């Protein structure tokens, strides 16, 4: 336990189950005293999120929000404004691409598949940052989740890599827009972790094995390590950092070849 986030209201978007990176972040922030608000993608996931959040032993506000729908985003932040008022942080842990776009050659990406991946995985950060901005009257910190596939061509990551590149660029543009209101925007580039979203990526086991062999720390990372880095980015300790992509990947991204 620590008190780094005592009195801070932080919205967590993207808990699907106990393996979700968003859940790792929630646990770290909870241990630091934050008051958490969870959004979930449609009623199908509400029960999962309710069960998990109950484990924190503190009642959390749960709000429906499918980020492909402007009306959902508006309504969700309307409810949060009504029930909580000011927010100090937002964790955006949301991405999606069709499974068939996550194998073979990127050159075969369909127009629909490209648009869908961009909409859910990149544009949604812009939409939620715009909705969260008026609630961040005391300054704030927005943290999103990215991956090395946005910087390099990673086998099978394809359309999602291009969406992550757009997300990374959005982090910089949003940081530049919102900095004058003391709202910081950063991304964590996590090493591969076995989650529901990762299931869609072909040969994911081989990716994990490569990290174990080649990353400087000779191991993969887990949700708690991303969670603790997010804690740093939400806390006052990182007050001078914005527009940054912070790699939490056991050092893998620095190694050539
Ligand atoms: P996950 O499947 O647990 O989380 C993905 C979340 O996105 C789910 O909660 C899902 O409900 C949500 N989502 C998808 N479409 C949505 C929509 N239309 N509206 C609202 N929510 C929607 O998987 P995860 O690995 O925890 O993914 C979280 C983030 O971390 C993603 O951005 C992912 O790209 C990123 N990431 C994951 C890894 C990894 O190896 N797992 C590595 C780097 C980055």
Location of structure tokens 């336990």: 1
Q: What is the mean pLDDT of residues 221-227?
A: 98
Top-level class of domain 9-200+220-241: alpha beta
Site residues for ligand 1, CB cut-off 6 Å? 14-16, 20-22, 41, 45, 66-68, 93-96, 120, 145-147, 190, 192-193, 195-198
Asked if the model's pLDDT at residue 71 lies above 80, the reply is yes
Average pLDDT over all residues of the chain: 97
d(Cα 189, Cα 173) in Å, to the nearest integer?
17
Residues 6+ apart with CB under 8 A from 92: 13, 14, 124, 125, 128, 142, 143, 144, 145
Tell me the percentage of the chain whose pLDDT exceeds 70. 100
φ/ψ bin of 245: left (φ > 0), alpha (ψ from -120 to 50), beta (otherwise): beta
Banded model confidence at residue 48, pLDDT cuts 50, 70, 90 = very high
Distance separating alpha carbons of residues 188 and 194, to the nearest angstrom: 16
Average pLDDT over every residue of 85-100: 98
Beta carbons within 8 Å of 237's beta carbon, 6+ residues apart: 4
**C-alpha to C-alpha distance for 136 and 119, rounded to whole angstroms:** 24
252 in active site: no
Q: Which ipTM score applies to this complex?
A: 0.99
The answer to the question of whether 68 is labelled as a binding residue is no
Looking at the whole model, is its pTM more than 0.90?
yes
Q: Give the pLDDT score at 1.
A: 81
User: pLDDT per residue over 58-67, tens digit each?
Assistant: 889 999 999 9
Say whether 147 is catalytic.
yes
Catalytic residue among 40, 114, 147, 173: 147
């Amino acid at each position: 336990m620590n008190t780094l986030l005592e009195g801070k209201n932080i919205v967590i978007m993207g808990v699907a189950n106990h393996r979700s990176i968003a859940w790792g972040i929630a646990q770290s922030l909870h241990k630091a005293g934050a008051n958490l608000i969870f959004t979930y993608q449609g009623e199908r996931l509400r029960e999962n999120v309710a069960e998990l959040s109950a484990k924190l032993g503190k009642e959390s506000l749960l709000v429906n929000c499918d980020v492909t729908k402007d009306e959902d985003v508006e309504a969700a932040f309307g409810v949060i404004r009504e029930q909580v008022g000011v927010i100090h942080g937002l964790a955006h842990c949301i991405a999606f691409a069709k499974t068939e776009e996550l194998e073979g050659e990127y050159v075969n990406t369909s127009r629909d598949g490209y648009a869908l991946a961009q909409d859910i995985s990149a544009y949604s950060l812009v939409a939620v940052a715009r909705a969260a901005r008026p609630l961040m009257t005391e300054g704030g910190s927005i943290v999103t989740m990215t991956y090395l596939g946005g910087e390099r061509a990673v086998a099978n990551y394809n359309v999602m890599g291009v969406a992550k590149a757009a997300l990374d660029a959005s982090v910089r543009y949003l940081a530049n827009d919102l900095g004058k209101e003391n709202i910081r925007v950063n991304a964590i580039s996590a090493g591969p972790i076995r989650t529901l979203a990762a299931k869609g990526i072909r040969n994911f086991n081989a990716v994990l094995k490569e990290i174990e062999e080649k990353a400087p720390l000779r191991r993969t990372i887990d949700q708690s390590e991303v969670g603790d880095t997010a804690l740093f980015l939400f806390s006052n300790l990182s007050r001078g950092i914005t527009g940054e992509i912070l790699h939490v990947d056991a050092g893998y991204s620095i190694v050539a070849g």
